[in-house]
Amino acid sequence: MTVSKLIAAAALVAAILPAAAQQKLVPAQSEIAFTSKQMGVPVDGKFKKFDAQVAFDPKKPEAAKIGFTIDLASVSLGAAETEAEVVKPDWFNTKAFPQATFQSGAVKGLGGGKFEVAGKLAIKGATKDVVVPVQVTQAGPNTTANGSFTIKRLDFRIGDGDWKDTSMVANDVAVKFKLVLTGVAPL
């Protein structure tokens, strides 16, 4: 590689890296929520504290790096006694496992602002592969990523002991998110 090509490559990398580093989550406008079912009745919850590390260019999705960290003790279910229960060892066991994480492995553009994000979700010491469909929209300086997917709670040992009975608490948990980011390149 000639010196001029090396300088040009370095300039290109320098131009790309700051743009990616400026991508920030807007927590006040973002949400990570879930719906489980207890005795057939939907129970909605959300997490109040989470963060995202995003390096995403919609025109080059295959180069994206997307990561999340969720503070499991920040769970909100609308009932103090339920919130006190789900942080215990049979459920999230937040003393031993304070965070859930997601790390992308591959991002594929599907057209029309739709993407498929494959990665690893880790909760309570268990890690599973997940594929998440995401719809990206932009308005002004904000980029919004919406998506949903379903996990099996027992795959992550959520609801151990007597709570393994899926007739009481269903195994499927629907996870949905709305993440508002700044600094993302145009679609």
**pLDDT per residue over 103-134, tens digit each?**
999 999 999 999 999 999 999 999 999 999 99
44 vs 82: CA distance, rounded Å: 12
What number is the average pLDDT over the span 70-80?
Answer: 96
Which residue in 182, 181, 179, 184 sits closest to 31, CA to CA?
179
The yes-or-no verdict on residue 169 having pLDDT over 50 is yes
Angle at 152 between CA 151 and CA 156, to 5 degrees: 100
What number is the average pLDDT over the span 165-173?
Answer: 95
pLDDT-derived band at 22, boundaries 50, 70, 90: confident
Cα dihedral 64, 70, 76, 81 sign? positive
Residues in the chain: 187
pLDDT-derived band at 96, boundaries 50, 70, 90: very high
More confident: 2 or 154: 154
pLDDT of residue 63: 96
What number is the average pLDDT over the span 3-16?
Answer: 41
Q: Domain 24-182 in CATH: superfamily?
A: Lipid/polyisoprenoid-binding, YceI-like (2.40.128.110)
**pLDDT per residue over 46-68, tens digit each?**
999 999 999 999 999 999 999 99
Place of tokens 């990398």: 13
